[in-house]
Amino acid sequence: MKCLSKAIAVALLVAPLGAVSAFADITIGVTVSSTGSGAALGIPLKNSVELWPQELDGEKLKVIVLDDQGDPSIATTNARRLITDDKVDVIVGSALTPASIAISGVAAETSTPHLAGSPVPPNVAAGKWTFVLPQDAGLIARTLFARMQKDGIKTVGYIGFSDSYGDLWVSQMSAIGAEYGLEMIADERYARPDTSVSGQVLKLVAARPDAVLVGASGTGAALPQLALRERGYAGPIYQTHGAVTFDFLRIAQEAAENTIFASGPVMVAELQADDSETKAEGVAYVTAYEERFGEGTRTQFGAHIHDAMAILKKAVPIARKTAEPGTPEFRAALRDAIETGGPFPASQGVFEFTPDNHYGLDERGVVLLTAKDGKFELVE
């Protein structure tokens, strides 16, 4: 018996890496805002984790989910706990931009791959360890600005969140708006928890822009939409992908009619052409999510979690060829596999990261929608 035990021990020592790694779980840390002001965005992310497989590349998948309440300081604490105490191989999160920025700092400090679940500024995406799941603000902005140009818009009034998400859209207007003949003549902000934007809307209406661009997300994006229509603003309103939720339509109701939204394709997955590279993943996600959580509950925020797994399903086997999960070497190999192992077809686009591009999406990740009779419709 002693000889047999010794033989097994020797076999484990000399076995190929693939055989040894069969005993190593793959651990993913998730931090999202399932409570707090960002809960409308964070809950679909948390729900979508429940749809992940129990195994990945033949190994047991261990997932740890924490609530950061949308607070950057809590997100930082969660990230440190997941990386230092739980030894995660990759971290996913968060639902809000400020929290994702905070996580990216910890990821860079600890050399841990990070899949950001919300948009982050270019300087954050330029880091070595963070990869962005939502569409780049520039990609969304160019799609919206091109539509504005087609619609004959010259002057734009802006209203958005008074945080880094709101700043993203002002910076895009400043950086590339002129390319589309657009001039921003008003810039108004409000906090995510605010319940009124009457003062800001009065200033916007007084500026008499050709159109209004709203830089907000979730149900918070409906606040200026309603206020603008209530104050008699009849001009066109454009919304970013952060506003594309069925809750937005439910709250805004008639005020949402004819608004133009830039969106990820998953919100209209079934309406895509059969040869679309995002249709299969999109329909798979929407079907699974709505079977569990109810018809009309899909969000593109939750779809980012699906896309994180679509990326990891392909990247993890590549990384395991050179390192074992649970080690710094594996984290480095996984980072490299995410950066170079694409393309990764997913529900919100086809990701193909490079050392110079950690956004990874192109025009296949954006569609234009409008609201008609309480539903989203594709705009040609």
Structural domain contains residue 254: yes
pLDDT-derived band at 24, boundaries 50, 70, 90: confident
User: Once rounded to an integer, what is the mean pLDDT over residues 39-68?
Assistant: 95
What CATH number does residue 201 fall under?
3.40.50.2300
Domain that holds residue 200: 138-263
pLDDT-derived band at 177, boundaries 50, 70, 90: very high
| Domain limit, last residue, from 205, 229, 263 | 263
Tokens of 259: 């608004």
Q: DSSP class of residue 52? A: S
Global confidence as pTM? 0.82
**Whether 46 and 155 share a structural domain:** no
pLDDT number for residue 5 = 37
- Residue 80 pLDDT exceeds 90: yes
pLDDT-derived band at 17, boundaries 50, 70, 90: very low
| Domain limit, last residue, from 263, 296, 320 | 263
**Whether 301 and 339 share a structural domain:** yes
Percentage of the chain modeled with pLDDT above 90: 84
Structural domain contains residue 186: yes
pLDDT number for residue 300 = 87
Give the position of tokens 């480095």. Answer: 332
10 Å CB burial of residue 344 (0-12, 13-18, 19+) is buried
Structural domain contains residue 275: no
- Interior CA angle at 51 toward 46 and 56, to 5°? 110
User: Once rounded to an integer, what is the mean pLDDT over residues 296-315?
Assistant: 95
**Whether 56 and 131 share a structural domain:** yes
**Whether 144 and 247 share a structural domain:** yes
Structural domain contains residue 270: no
What is the average pLDDT value for the chain, to the nearest integer? 92
- Interior CA angle at 96 toward 110 and 289, to 5°? 105
| Residues contacting 158, CB < 8 A, separation 6+ | 169, 170, 173, 184, 186, 187, 188, 212, 213, 214, 215
- Interior CA angle at 298 toward 351 and 377, to 5°? 85
**Whether 325 and 238 share a structural domain:** no
Give the distance, in angstroms, between the CA of residue 226 and the centroid of all CA atoms in the same chain: 25
- Residue 46 pLDDT exceeds 60: yes
Dihedral angle over CA of 303, 308, 310, 311, nearest 10: 150
**Whether 142 and 130 share a structural domain:** no
User: Once rounded to an integer, what is the mean pLDDT over residues 281-290?
Assistant: 97
- Residue 14 pLDDT exceeds 60: no
Whose CA is closest to 42, among 125, 98, 107? 98
Per-residue pLDDT tens over the stretch 93-148: 999 989 999 999 999 999 999 999 998 988 999 999 999 999 988 899 999 999 99
- Residue 253 pLDDT exceeds 80: yes
pLDDT number for residue 9 = 33
- Determine contact, residues 292/361, Cβ cutoff 8 Å: no
User: Once rounded to an integer, what is the mean pLDDT over residues 317-325?
Assistant: 96
**Whether 255 and 335 share a structural domain:** no
pLDDT number for residue 15 = 35
pLDDT number for residue 164 = 84
**Whether 56 and 103 share a structural domain:** yes
User: Once rounded to an integer, what is the mean pLDDT over residues 211-235?
Assistant: 95
**Whether 258 and 151 share a structural domain:** yes
Residues in the chain: 380
Angle between helices 164-176 and 137-150 (to 10 degrees): 50
